A and B are shown apart, each in its own frame.
Chain A
Amino acid sequence: MTPLRLAWANLVHKRARTFVAAAGVAFAVVLVFMELGMLGGVGRTATMLYDKLQFDLLITSSEYLDLSRAPEFPRQRLVQARVDAVDDVIPVSFGVAGWRAPRQESLFGDTEPGGQLSINIVAAPPDKLNKAFVVGESGAFASEAEAIEAGKRLKQLDTFLLDRRSKPDFGDLAKLQAIPPDGRGGEAVRLNGQRASVVGGFDLGTGFSWNGMLLTSEESYAKYAMRPRDAVHFGLVQVKPGVNPVAVQQHLRRTLPPDVKVYTRAEINADERNYWLRLTSIGQFLLVAVILAIVVGVIFVYQMMAADIRNMLPEYATVKALGYRPPYLTGVVLWQAVLLAVFGYVPGFVAALGLYHVASNFGGIPTAMTLETAVGVLALTCFMCLASGLLAVRKVHSADPADLF
Chain B
Amino acid sequence: MSSDAQNNPSPTPPLRREGLNPAPPPFLGEGVGGRGSSPLPPPGQPVLRIRGVNHYFGTGDTRTQVLFDNTLEVMPGEMVIMSGPSGSGKTTILTLIGGLRTLQEGEIEVWDANRGDYRTLRGVPEPELVNVRRLIGFIFQRHNLFDSLTAMQNIRMAQRLKESAADPDEAARDILTYLLLGEKDIQSKSQKSRFDYKPAKLSGGQRQRVAIARALINRPKLVLADEPTAALDANSGLAVVTLVQELARVRSETDLQKLVRPAEEAGENGRLAEWQVPLLRKIATEHGTTSLIVTHDSRIMNLADRIVHMERGRIESNVVVAERLFVREGLRQSPAFAAILPEEQEKIADSVLVGVHPNDPVRPDHLAAKPGCVEVYEPGQAIVRQGDAVNAESKFYLIRRGIVDVSRVVNGATQKLTEMGSGRYFGEVAFLMDQPRNATVRAITRVEVYTVSRATFDKFRSVSLPFIERVLANFRAGDGTPRT
Residues of A within 8 A of B (CB): 1, 6, 9-10, 12-14, 312, 314-315, 317-326, 400-402, 404-405
Tell whether, in the assembled complex, residue B158 and residue A322 are in contact, meaning their CB atoms are under 8 Å apart. yes
Tell whether, in the assembled complex, residue A315 and residue B142 are in contact, meaning their CB atoms are under 8 Å apart. no
Number of B interface residues, CB 8 Å?
30
**Which of B66-74, B91-99, B260-268, B443-451 participates in binding chain A?**
B91-99
**Given that A1-B156, A405-B95, A405-B100 are contacting pairs, would A315 and B147 also be in contact in the complex, using a CB cutoff of 8 Å?**
yes
Tell whether, in the assembled complex, residue B101 and residue A318 are in contact, meaning their CB atoms are under 8 Å apart. no
Tell whether, in the assembled complex, residue B148 and residue A12 are in contact, meaning their CB atoms are under 8 Å apart. yes
Tell whether, in the assembled complex, residue A10 and residue B133 are in contact, meaning their CB atoms are under 8 Å apart. no
Residues on the A chain within 8 Å of B157, using CB? 1, 6, 319, 322
Partner among A13, A402, A404 whose Cβ is within 8 Å of the Cβ of B142: A404
Tell whether, in the assembled complex, residue B95 and residue A325 are in contact, meaning their CB atoms are under 8 Å apart. no
Residues on the A chain within 8 Å of B130, using CB? 320, 323-325
Query: 9 A–B contact pairs at CB < 8 A?
Result: A12-B148, A312-B147, A317-B144, A318-B145, A322-B161, A323-B131, A325-B127, A405-B95, A405-B100
B214 to chain A minimum Cβ distance, whole angstroms, is 8
Tell whether, in the assembled complex, residue A322 and residue B148 are in contact, meaning their CB atoms are under 8 Å apart. no
Residues of B within 8 A of A (CB): 91, 94-95, 98, 100-101, 127, 130-131, 133-134, 138, 140-142, 144-149, 153, 156-158, 160-161, 198, 214, 226
Residues on the A chain within 8 Å of B100, using CB? 321, 400-402, 404-405
Tell whether, in the assembled complex, residue B160 and residue A1 are in contact, meaning their CB atoms are under 8 Å apart. yes
Tell whether, in the assembled complex, residue B98 and residue A321 are in contact, meaning their CB atoms are under 8 Å apart. yes
> How many angstroms from the CA of A404 to the CA of B146 in the assembled complex?
14
> How many angstroms from the CA of A321 to the CA of B160 in the assembled complex?
14
> How many angstroms from the CA of A13 to the CA of B156 in the assembled complex?
18
Known: A314-B144, A404-B142. 13 other contacts (CB 8 A): A1-B153, A9-B148, A10-B148, A317-B144, A318-B140, A318-B144, A319-B157, A322-B158, A322-B214, A324-B130, A400-B100, A402-B95, A405-B141
3 nearest A-B pairs in the assembled complex, by CB-CB distance: A13-B148, A323-B134, A318-B144
Residues on the A chain within 8 Å of B148, using CB? 6, 9-10, 12-14
In the complex, what residue of chain B is closest to A323 when comparing beta carbons? B134
A155 to chain B minimum Cβ distance, whole angstroms, is 76
> How many angstroms from the CA of A314 to the CA of B148 in the assembled complex?
13
> How many angstroms from the CA of A14 to the CA of B161 in the assembled complex?
26
Residues on the A chain within 8 Å of B156, using CB? 1
**Given that A402-B100, A405-B95, A405-B226 are contacting pairs, would A13 and B138 also be in contact in the complex, using a CB cutoff of 8 Å?**
no
> How many angstroms from the CA of A320 to the CA of B144 in the assembled complex?
12
> How many angstroms from the CA of A314 to the CA of B207 in the assembled complex?
15
Residues on the A chain within 8 Å of B198, using CB? 13
Tell whether, in the assembled complex, residue A322 and residue B133 are in contact, meaning their CB atoms are under 8 Å apart. yes
A354 to chain B minimum Cβ distance, whole angstroms, is 33
> How many angstroms from the CA of A315 to the CA of B157 in the assembled complex?
12
In the complex, what residue of chain B is closest to A400 when comparing beta carbons? B100
Residues on the B chain within 8 Å of A6, using CB? 146, 148-149, 157
A341 to chain B minimum Cβ distance, whole angstroms, is 19
B341 to chain A minimum Cβ distance, whole angstroms, is 40
Tell whether, in the assembled complex, residue A13 and residue B144 are in contact, meaning their CB atoms are under 8 Å apart. no
> How many angstroms from the CA of A320 to the CA of B156 in the assembled complex?
15
In the complex, what residue of chain A is closest to B156 when comparing beta carbons? A1
> How many angstroms from the CA of A317 to the CA of B145 in the assembled complex?
11
Residues on the B chain within 8 Å of A325, using CB? 127, 130
B33 to chain A minimum Cβ distance, whole angstroms, is 27
In the complex, what residue of chain B is closest to A404 when comparing beta carbons? B140
Tell whether, in the assembled complex, residue A404 and residue B144 are in contact, meaning their CB atoms are under 8 Å apart. yes
Tell whether, in the assembled complex, residue B149 and residue A404 are in contact, meaning their CB atoms are under 8 Å apart. no
Residues on the A chain within 8 Å of B140, using CB? 318, 321, 404-405
Which has the most chain A C-beta neighbours within 10 Å: B127, B130, B133, B146? B146
Residues on the A chain within 8 Å of B101, using CB? 402
Which has the most chain A C-beta neighbours within 10 Å: B101, B140, B148, B161? B148
